[in-house]
A and B are shown apart, each in its own frame.
Chain A
Amino acid sequence: MISKTLPGRLRESLPAYAFLAPWLIGLFGLTLIPMVLSLYYSFTDYSLLAPPVWEGLANYQRMLSDDRYQHSLVVTFTYVLLSVPLEMVFALAVAVVLNQGLKAVAFYRAVYYVPSLLGGSVAIAILWRQIFGADGLVNQVLGTVGLDGPGWISSPDTSLFTLVLLRVWQFGAPMVIFLAGLRQIPGDVLEAAEVDGAGRVRRFVHITLPLLSPIIFFNLVLQIIGAFQAFTPAFIVSGGSGGPSDSTLFYTLYLYQKAFGSFEMGYAAAMAWVLLLIIAGFTAANFVMGKRWVFYADEREAR
Chain B
Amino acid sequence: MSTPVRQRPPRTESAPRSVPRRTRAANRQGLMSRRTVAHAAIILIGLVMVYPLVWMLSSSFEPTTEIFGSTSLVPKSPSLDNYSAGWSGPGAPFSVYLLNSLLICALTIVGNVLSCSLAAYAFARMSFVGRRVLFGVMLGTIMLPAHVTLIAQYSIFRDLGWVDTYLPLVVPKFLGTEAFFIFLMVQFIRGLPRELDEAARIDGCGVFQIYLRIVLPLLRPALVTTAIFSFIWSYNDFFTALIYVSDPARLTVPLALRTFLDSSGQSEWGQMFAMSLVTMVPVLVAFVLFQRRIVEGVATTGLK
Which residues does A use to contact B, with CB under 8 Å? Answer: 6, 9-10, 12-13, 15-17, 19-23, 25-27, 29-31, 33-38, 41, 48, 94, 97-98, 100-102, 108-118, 120-124, 126-127, 129-131, 133, 135, 137, 140-141, 144, 169, 173, 176-177, 179-180, 184-186, 188-189, 191-193, 195-196, 207, 210-211, 218-219, 222, 225-226, 228-229, 231-232, 235-236, 239, 252, 255-256, 259-260, 265, 268-269, 271-273, 275-276, 279, 283, 295, 297-298, 300-301
Q: How many A-B residue pairs have CB under 8 A?
A: 294
The reply to whether A37 and B175 form a contact with Cβ atoms under 8 Å apart is no
The reply to whether B141 and A34 form a contact with Cβ atoms under 8 Å apart is no
In this assembly, does B289 line the interface, its C-beta being within 8 Å of a C-beta of chain A?
Answer: no
One digit per residue, 1 when the CB lies within 8 angstroms of any chain A CB and 0 when it does not, for chain B 121-148 equals 1110011111100100110010111111
The reply to whether A30 and B153 form a contact with Cβ atoms under 8 Å apart is yes
Which residues does B use to contact A, with CB under 8 Å? Answer: 1-6, 8-9, 11, 15-16, 18-19, 34-35, 38-39, 41-42, 45-46, 49-50, 52-53, 55-56, 67-71, 114-116, 118-119, 121-123, 126-131, 134, 137-138, 141, 143-156, 158, 172, 174-177, 179, 182, 207-208, 211, 232, 236, 238-239, 242-243, 254, 257-258, 261-262, 266, 269, 272-273, 276-277, 279-280, 283-284, 287, 291, 294-295, 298-300, 302, 304
Tell me which of A41, A141, A192 contacts B5 (CB under 8 A): A192
The reply to whether B134 and A20 form a contact with Cβ atoms under 8 Å apart is yes
The reply to whether B8 and A188 form a contact with Cβ atoms under 8 Å apart is yes
Q: Counting chain A CB atoms within 10 Å of each CB, which of B55, B153, B284, B302 scores highest?
A: B302
The reply to whether B39 and A259 form a contact with Cβ atoms under 8 Å apart is no
The reply to whether A123 and B277 form a contact with Cβ atoms under 8 Å apart is yes
The reply to whether B115 and A121 form a contact with Cβ atoms under 8 Å apart is no
The reply to whether A102 and B38 form a contact with Cβ atoms under 8 Å apart is yes
Tell me which of A12, A15, A38 contacts B152 (CB under 8 A): A38
Distance in Å: Cβ of A200 to nearest Cβ of chain B? 9
Distance in Å: Cβ of A13 to nearest Cβ of chain B? 3
Query: What residues of B have a CB within 8 angstroms of the CB of A29 in the complex?
Result: 156, 175
Known: A19-B122, A23-B176, A116-B304. A123 touches B276 (CB 8 A): yes
Complex-state Cα separation, A22 to B211, whole angstroms: 16
8 tightest CB-CB pairs across the interface, nearest first? A26-B175, A192-B8, A13-B128, A23-B176, A34-B152, A180-B299, A123-B276, A37-B152
Complex-state Cα separation, A210 to B1, whole angstroms: 13
Taking chain A's interface residues, is the majority helix, strand, or loop, or is none over half, making it mixed? helix
Tell me which of B34, B116, B208, B280 contacts A121 (CB under 8 A): B280
Query: What residues of A have a CB within 8 angstroms of the CB of B145 in the complex?
Result: 225, 228-229, 272, 275-276, 279
The reply to whether B298 and A16 form a contact with Cβ atoms under 8 Å apart is no
The reply to whether A210 and B149 form a contact with Cβ atoms under 8 Å apart is no
Distance in Å: Cβ of A211 to nearest Cβ of chain B? 7
Query: What residues of A have a CB within 8 angstroms of the CB of B56 in the complex?
Result: 127
Query: What residues of A have a CB within 8 angstroms of the CB of B3 in the complex?
Result: 185-186, 189, 211, 297
Tell me which of B138, B144, B176, B232 contacts A117 (CB under 8 A): B232
Complex-state Cα separation, A30 to B261, whole angstroms: 33
Q: Which residue of B lies closest to A193 (CB)?
A: B5
Query: What residues of A have a CB within 8 angstroms of the CB of B116 in the complex?
Result: 23
